[in-house]
Structure 1
Amino acid sequence: MPPTVLAAPANPEAVTAPSTQTPRNAPTTPPDPKRVPNNATAIDATDAPIFRRHAPDTGTNPLDRPHALLQAGRFDEAEQAYRAIVHTDPHNPDALTALGLLAARRGEMERAAALYGRALIADPRHGPALAGLTGLQGEHEAIGESRLKALLTGDPGNAALHFALGNLLAGQQRWGEAQQAFFAAHSAAPDNPDALYNLAVALDRLHRPPLAARYYRLALDAAHERPAGFDTRLAQARLEALAPTAPGAATP
């Protein structure tokens, strides 16, 4: 499934009016994508963070190859590799979650939900499975804001949980809180294009055109390095619409 990305506002006049509301955690300067730590947790190109590694530390991990295929967009090969893992380890939450993501990409939402559910039976705190399930249409109520926040209390650096919470809050038009959640997801996953894009949309909805433009640009730059779930053409159009009201914002 492509990441749960938000719809950028289509009407510039609807979102560029001055506002006195400043999100408490809104960043004032864009991050430098060149300074992303090599070990940063990242929301995966297809929807979830790099999967937790449950395999024993034997020097090699069977999840490495399918995950590399997934990030490279070689979805058929990745699915075959994840299926092979599940065949020998039916309760592997990482492989089950990945198969859920791939099923959702094909529009098989019921199968995706079942796979996420199996992953959560194996590991009730599995952030990627929770994020994937939250992203399915109609599943926001099933996960619940309180549950996501409770899980974040014990795992505050989990990018997937912050991303899922941001999507839930955005769906309720709670843009200030959604912005904070997306910024937290971006902080945990600095090079992820979808976290950057959703942050840009939230800032856009909060009438913060200079910051929104900066993060649209950073999202587009990040999308050159790894697959993204948002439509880059629409993001570019929105950036160009905001540019006149945000001088210099397109340049990090």
Structure 2
Amino acid sequence: MSLLIDAIRKAEAEKNESVPSQEAPGEEPGLELEAKPEAPVGIEEEDRAAAERMFAAKTLSTSHYRLWILGAIAALLFASGTGYWWYRTETQTAPQISAPAPLPAEPERASEVAAVEAPAPVEAPKPKPKPEPESTNRVEVRKKASKAIVNPLSISGYQAMNSRNLDVARKQYARLLSRDPQNREALLGLAAVAMQRGRIALAERYYRRMLEIDPEDPDAVAGLANLGNPADDESRMKSLIHNSPDSGALYFSLGNGYASESHWSDAEQAYFSALKAASDNPDYAFNLAVSLDHLGQKNLALRYYRKAVELSGRGFPGFDAETAKNRISELEQ
């Protein structure tokens, strides 16, 4: 500030030094302007001080103005920088805004939410206890029940047949049939008694009556086939065997059909299956021995002839035991 004041004072001094008049180039000599009276020294100093104050005021106002401008510029730069920083921050984090990661919840609150929203865990179904005694007991109960259901008349009739007492067997089966007209043991038992007595028509009637109750009863089908021409029922035998593969009677009837046509190889297989299903039947063993004898298998034939004779002491075998014994003697030579 002092430098400015010195410069003003110097300028005023130079101005005062240039006040003495000089002759104007075109003026006439002798003509001089009247000099202005000098202002008193006190007034000059007051004017100088007023000028200095005015200059200082102007300088101060100018500096304030500049400071205001600089402050505005600084504020504008700060706002621009802040805006740019915000824009960069937002553009860099823009992908996260569309799918923000969930804020970590407080442990206690998370447990509360889970307790409310999460469904209770479903327990795996406990394995059902094995029907250990139950299944076994059921089978045993059924076995016992089946034995209890079998009428004593049926048991006595079967025992009478094995004892070759046809009269007792027929009476027991007849009594059972009168109490239960659809009893399987009674119908098949009476048919067997009729066949042993040579009453073929009566046996056929019992078999057909059984087939009315159960059209696929293997024993009734086999017995009826043995009364006629077994070869005519070959296709039916095979169909029934497919449904009842453990029926010895069906295999026996099928073997008889093959034997009637001298198809000994097929007959041997059918008789073997029949004996496998009922190993205590003497007729199955005897017919198997005959088929093997026809096939020239003497050793095997001898084996089953002996088995047939051994089993012939029970019931009513369809062969003559003495004939079987004679054939055994011939094969042993």
Unaligned runs of 5+ in 1: 1-55, 245-252
Per-residue deviation, 1:99: 0.8
Structure with the greater relative contact order (CA < 8 A, sep ≥ 6): 1 or 2? 1
Q: Quote the Cα distance in structure 1 between the aligned partners of 2:313 and 2:243.
A: 34
1:67 offset after TM fit, Å?
1.6
Cross-structure match for 1:152: 241
Give the number of the structure whose alpha-carbon radius of gyration is greater. 2
Selected match of 1:132 from 223, 228, 231: 223
What letter is aligned with 1:140? P
Query: Would you say 1:120 and 2:120 are equivalent positions?
Result: no
1:242 aligns with 2:318: no
TM-score (ref. length: structure 1): 0.69
Tell me the residue number matched to 1:80. 171
Structure 1 residue 168, shift from structure 2 partner: 1.2
> Structure 1, residues 42-89: CA drift from partner, whole Å, max 9, x if none?
xxxxxxxxxxxxxx7472411222222222222111111111111122
| 2:256 aligned with 1:188 | no
Q: What is the identity, as a one-letter code, of the residue corresponding to 2:249?
A: A
Residue-pair matches, total: 187
SS at match of 1:59: helix
**Is the 8 Å Cα contact of residues 196 and 316 (structure 2) preserved in structure 1?**
no
The aligned residue for residue 196 of structure 2 is 105
- Larger mean CA deviation between 117-126 and 223-232 belongs to 223-232
Structure 1 227/100 Cα, relative in aligned 2: closer, same or farther at 3 Å? closer
Q: Distance in 1 between matches of 2:317 and 2:172?
A: 22
1:210-248 per-residue CA deviation (whole Å, 9 max, x = no partner) reads 11111111211222455522111111111111113xxxx
CA distance in structure 1 between the aligned counterparts of 2:185 and 2:313, rounded to whole angstroms:
26
1:1-252 alignment to 2 at 5 Å? 57=146, 59-62=148-151, 63-136=154-227, 138-140=228-230, 144-224=233-313, 227-244=316-333
TM-score of the superposed pair, with normalisation by structure 2: 0.53
1:132 maps to amino acid: G
Write the letter of the residue equivalent to 2:220: A
Checking the alignment, whether the CA contact within 8 Å between 1:93 and 1:118 is kept in structure 2 is no
CA distance in 1, matches of 2:313, 2:201: 32
Q: CA deviation at 1:126?
A: 1.4
**Which stretches of structure 1, 4 residues or longer, exceed 4 Å deviation after superposition?**
none
Contact 1:93–1:126 (Cα < 8 Å) also in 2: no
Q: CA deviation at 1:93?
A: 2.8
Aligned letter for 1:169?
Y
C-alpha contact 1:193 1:228 (8 A) present in aligned 2: yes
